[in-house]
Amino acid sequence: MLTLVATFATLVPGGPVETRDFKALGGAVFWGFNVYLIALGLTALLAGGMALKGKRSAGWLAIICGWNYLFVVFLDLGEVFPRSSDPMPFLLGVIEILDAILAAYAIVLGHRVLDHFGFSARESAAEQS
């Protein structure tokens, strides 16, 4: 989760990677989306901190954050939202694809922490053999 937040933070509009112009979105939509992204980042940081402390509930937060990150990335890569007249920079696309992979991994790890799909049961059986 912490790596995902760190890579996603490099994509701040107007920063070194995200150079597209979003003036057409309007202030309310632009800032509303940024508030959503900031809340997502803070929740992911919370999940990472909870995971480091061994809290099981971090699994749920990881799953929720992971799906939200995937939602944001797929909307952007699919050119659905946010829309811009500027093309997506190559580096931005690469980072978003890596973020999608990290988000999917966070979802899997969240399920593993919560012992969904019997991950722990299979490991215990393998250890007893």
- Residue 88 — left, alpha, or beta (φ > 0 → left; ψ -120 to 50 → alpha)? beta
**pLDDT tens per residue across span 36-82:** 999 999 999 999 999 999 999 999 999 999 999 999 999 999 989 98
Q: Do 82 and 32 meet the contact criterion of CB atoms below 8 Å apart? A: no
Mean pLDDT (the chain, rounded): 89
C-alpha distances in Å from residue 64, one per residue of 23, 103, 109, 112: 30, 10, 12, 14
Give the span between the Cα atoms of 97 and 52, in whole angstroms.
26
**pLDDT tens per residue across span 1-29:** 888 888 888 888 877 899 899 888 898 99
Predicted pLDDT of residue 129 = 58
The label of the residue with tokens 């509303």 reads: 32
Q: Do 41 and 103 meet the contact criterion of CB atoms below 8 Å apart? A: no
Of the chain, the percentage scoring pLDDT greater than 70 comes to 91
Predicted pLDDT of residue 126 = 61
In terms of Cβ atoms closer than 10 Å to its own Cβ (0-12, 13-18, 19+), residue 48 is buried
| 126, HSE (Cβ side, Cα atoms, 13 Å) | 6
| 125 band by pLDDT with thresholds 50, 70 and 90 | low
